[in-house]
Amino acid sequence: MIKPVLLWSDALILLLLAGIAALVWLARHNDTFRAPWRQVMASRMGSATALVLAVYAGIGLLDSLHYVERLPSEPGQPAQYSGDVRSALDALLTPLRENVEKTYSAPFATHLYAKETMTGPDGREIRDYPRLAFGGAHLADPQRDFWPDVTQRAGLGLLGGWLIWLVWRALRRWTPARRATATPGAAARSWTVLAMLLTAGMLVALAPHYHVLGTDKVGQDVLYLSLKSVRTGLLIGSLTTLIMLPFALTLGIAAGYFGGRIDDAIQYLYTTLNSIPGVLLIAAAVLVVQVQIEAHAELFETAAARSDVRLLALCAILGVTGWTGLARLLRAEVLKLRELEFVQAARAFGVTDARILLRHLLPNVMHLVLITVVIDFSGLVLAEAVLSYVGVGVDPAMTSFGNMINGARLELAREPVVWWQLAAAFVFMFILVLAANLFADQVRDALDPKSKERA
């Protein structure tokens, strides 16, 4: 028996998704809204990166469906639940989560990283590398069986991925509603799906039997840690934006439209915020939040709830300090728009300020908002790593790229070098941020009239 748990961040993620869905639903017949997105998806880079981001988002979403397990209890007793909050992703990755070794082991290793004293078959004590409890444990003789087993499993995985791809392609061809428009984007999508299915197939075939990316200091599977880190990165990137937008929109547009005293006050506000060195302001605010959370530890039922609140606080801090850039852009744009004929005409007809702002100005600055949001996203994912390294990021107990790098920092000094945890964090982050950056470029090209002229 399980009981779903809704952490605050989960609720906000669902809210965000509902908001996006509603927006898409409302604008589904609006061609000015759809045309740029169609342009993004028609380009090779746009559709490939969108797919990669969608996979990351899927992982993060699965990891946001939390639950607690019911503990076995006597019938008639009130139900007891475990304090260990899990997610749907944890449930899917149960073998990875539970196959915990003693300490480091290299990717695909069958033996531990460190020597141990063991009792040999003849009763004498020997020092050697012990076999892993899970990685390659099914092999009778690792030396002989390792390569045949790995190639066989990998081959099967690849085959499986390829078959699924064939089915997917056939299904697409038979769907009459979506007559495949032969854009470069559609072809790129197909190849991206193939690459992802092949990777996924191999991982599904190999990961339950080997530690594909090795294990960390306490023996946890690095692939599992990397997948769990995705949610933290995505949350920082998206929730911060969600919190930042209301500030940037209202203050930026108000400053540009009303001018005068309001403009002065808002400009003073953002110059003040801007003048404080970013990391310092964030650090100061996070320190304060940390102290408050420690002082009110009784408010949080589980460790997950506590680190969740700390993550949200971090997003809030990043959002409250991060709105100035967009607000400045919006102010400048509204200053220009406000003098144009259509706004003048609306004002002459006696349209109220509120209505002018909502109907005439907001839609005309939306492209700036969208561009800023996608460009900021990758920066925020990178910022999380740095902040966690400094010690003012997410909770140290939470899996995140920053915490992974921080934990792995000294591993390069070991002999032999422990490189896999750093490498895994590097690759997972690099793919996410690169996809986000390339996608942002496409979105900017599609939405920004200025960059279209340039190209």
Partner 1 sequence: MLNYILRRLLYAIPILLGVNLLTFALFFMVNTPDDMARIHLGAKHVTEEAISRWKIEHGYDKPLFFNAAAEGVDKAADTLFVEKSLKLFVFDFGAADDGRDIAREISQRMWPSLAIALPTFIVGLLAYLSFALLLVFFRGTALDTSGVILLVALMSISGLFYVIGGQYLMGKLWHWFPISGYQPGLDAWKFMVMPVLVGLIGGIGDSTRFYRALFIEEIGKDYVRTARAKGLSDLRVLFKHVLGNAMIPILTGVVVVIPRLFMGSLIIESFFGIPGLGSYTIDAIQAQDFAIVRSMVFLGSLLYIIGLVLTDISYTWADPRVRLE
Q: Contact with partner 1 (CB under 8 A): which of 41, 109, 394, 433?
A: 433
Q: Which is nearer to partner 1, 166 or 434 (CB)?
A: 434
Cα dihedral 32→61→279→284 (10° resolution): 120
Q: Which is nearer to partner 1, 177 or 413 (CB)?
A: 413
Those residues with Cβ within 8 angstroms of residue 109's Cβ, 6 or more apart along the chain or in another chain: 132, 135, 136, 211, 214
Task: State in angstroms the smallest separation of the CB of 249 from partner 1.
Answer: 22
Which listed range, 95-103, 126-134, 366-374, 430-438, lies at the site for partner 1 (CB under 8 A)? 430-438
* Stretch 262-291 residues interacting with partner 1 (CB under 8 A): 268-269, 271-272, 274-277, 279-281, 283-285, 287-288, 291
Rounded to whole angstroms, the Cα distance separating 211 from 100 reads: 10
Rounded to whole angstroms, the Cα distance separating 172 from 180 reads: 8
Rounded to whole angstroms, the Cα distance separating 359 from 362 reads: 6
Q: How far is CA 121 from CA 110, 118, 130, 137, in A?
A: 19, 10, 13, 18
Task: State in angstroms the smallest separation of the CB of 386 from partner 1.
Answer: 6
Q: Which is nearer to partner 1, 99 or 378 (CB)?
A: 378
Spatial contact of 206 and 157, defined as CB atoms under 8 Å apart = yes
Per DSSP, helices labelled H in 218-323 are: 222-258, 260-275, 278-295, 303-322
Task: State in angstroms the smallest separation of the CB of 371 from partner 1.
Answer: 13
Q: Which is nearer to partner 1, 134 or 428 (CB)?
A: 428
Q: Which is nearer to partner 1, 338 or 444 (CB)?
A: 444
Task: State in angstroms the smallest separation of the CB of 408 from partner 1.
Answer: 8
* Stretch 130-189 residues interacting with partner 1 (CB under 8 A): none
Rounded to whole angstroms, the Cα distance separating 110 from 153 reads: 16
Task: State in angstroms the smallest separation of the CB of 212 from partner 1.
Answer: 21
Spatial contact of 211 and 105, defined as CB atoms under 8 Å apart = yes
The reply on whether position 101 binds partner 1 by CB under 8 A is no
Rounded to whole angstroms, the Cα distance separating 188 from 449 reads: 25
Which listed range, 116-124, 160-168, 223-231, 429-437, lies at the site for partner 1 (CB under 8 A)? 429-437
Task: State in angstroms the smallest separation of the CB of 29 from partner 1.
Answer: 35
Which listed range, 86-94, 155-163, 202-210, 421-429, lies at the site for partner 1 (CB under 8 A)? 421-429
* Stretch 210-269 residues interacting with partner 1 (CB under 8 A): 268-269
Task: State in angstroms the smallest separation of the CB of 278 from partner 1.
Answer: 9
Rounded to whole angstroms, the Cα distance separating 139 from 1 reads: 35
Q: Which is nearer to partner 1, 145 or 263 (CB)?
A: 263
Q: Which is nearer to partner 1, 147 or 268 (CB)?
A: 268
Q: Which is nearer to partner 1, 221 or 441 (CB)?
A: 441
Q: How far is CA 454 from CA 30, 41, 337, 372, 448, in A?
A: 26, 20, 22, 19, 10
Q: Which is nearer to partner 1, 206 or 255 (CB)?
A: 255
How many residues sit close enough to partner 1 to count as binding (CB under 8 A)? Answer: 45
Spatial contact of 384 and 394, defined as CB atoms under 8 Å apart = yes
Rounded to whole angstroms, the Cα distance separating 420 from 417 reads: 9
Long-range contacts of 383-386 (CB under 8 A, 24+ apart): 383/236, 383/318, 384/232, 384/233, 384/236, 385/429, 386/279
Q: Which is nearer to partner 1, 133 or 279 (CB)?
A: 279
Q: Which is nearer to partner 1, 65 or 243 (CB)?
A: 243
Which listed range, 9-17, 136-144, 149-157, 432-440, lies at the site for partner 1 (CB under 8 A)? 432-440
Overall residue count recorded for the chain in this entry: 455
Identify the burial level of 170 via C-beta atoms within 10 angstroms of its C-beta, where 0-12 means exposed, 13-18 middle and 19 or more buried. exposed
* Stretch 291-330 residues interacting with partner 1 (CB under 8 A): 291-292, 294-295
* Stretch 346-405 residues interacting with partner 1 (CB under 8 A): 378, 382, 385-386, 389-392, 401-402, 405
Rounded to whole angstroms, the Cα distance separating 409 from 248 reads: 37
Question: Which residues contact partner 1 (rule: CB under 8 A)?
Answer: 268-269, 271-272, 274-277, 279-281, 283-285, 287-288, 291-292, 294-295, 378, 382, 385-386, 389-392, 401-402, 405, 409, 412-413, 422, 426, 429-430, 433-434, 437-438, 441, 453-454
